[in-house]
Amino acid sequence: MASFSADVDKLDKRLAETVTADDTVFTGRLLKVHRLTVTLPNGKTSTREMIRHPGAAAIVVLDDENRVVLERQWRTPAGGAFWEIPAGKIDPGEKHAVTARRELKEEAGLTARDWVFLGTIRNAIGYSDEHIEIYLARGLTQGEQRLDANEFLTLTRVPFEEALAACRDGTISDVKTIIGLMWAEDYIRGRLTQARSL
C-alpha cells in the first residue's frame, strides 16, 4: 500500500489514462457533456463520460455572534430543498475569490472585511471536472440582497456549533456545506494547514 509520502509521480504514471478522442455530446447553458475515448494503462481503450463545469466558489459566513449564514434552496436534480452555504459558479474570466465576494453580496446581501481561503474540493471526480474553492468570510456588513430572476432561497443564521452538529447528524447533506463547515472549524482551531488569508 502506498503512503502519502511515497513517490506519487511514479505511482500516477502507472495509473494514467490518455485521452485519444473528445466528443461533445451536449452543450447547455452551464454544463457540457463529453464522451472521451481513453487508452488505459494496459493499452486497451475505454469510454469515459464527463461533465465539464466552469467551477464555483462557496462561502462559510460567520457573523459576530458566531452564527453561520445558511440558505434553504430547492434543488430539482436531488428532488428537494437543502441547507447550504452561499455559493455560485464562476463567470468567464472571473477568479474564484471574486466569485465568492459577488455571490455573498447577491445571495445574502453581505460584504465581508476578512476573507480566508480554506481549500478546494473536487466534488464529483468520477464524472466531472467541477471544483469548488471554499472561503471563510467574517467581519460582515449587511446590504441589499440581489438574487437572480430565477433564484429563490431563504436565509437563516444558525449557531456555528449547531450547524456542525447538523452536518454530523445528516440534517445537512450538501457536500460543499459539510466540508466547508468542517474546514472552518479546523481553521478556527488552528488545525487547517492549507488555509491562507486573502
Catalytic residue list:
151
Integer Cα distance of 68 and 22 in angstroms: 42
β-pairing, 132-142 vs 110-121, is antiparallel
CB of 68 closer than 8 Å to CB of 54: no
Output the nine-digit C-alpha cell for 48. Answer: 469515459
DSSP letters spanning 112-148: EEEEEEEEEE-TTTTTB---EEEEEEEEEEE------
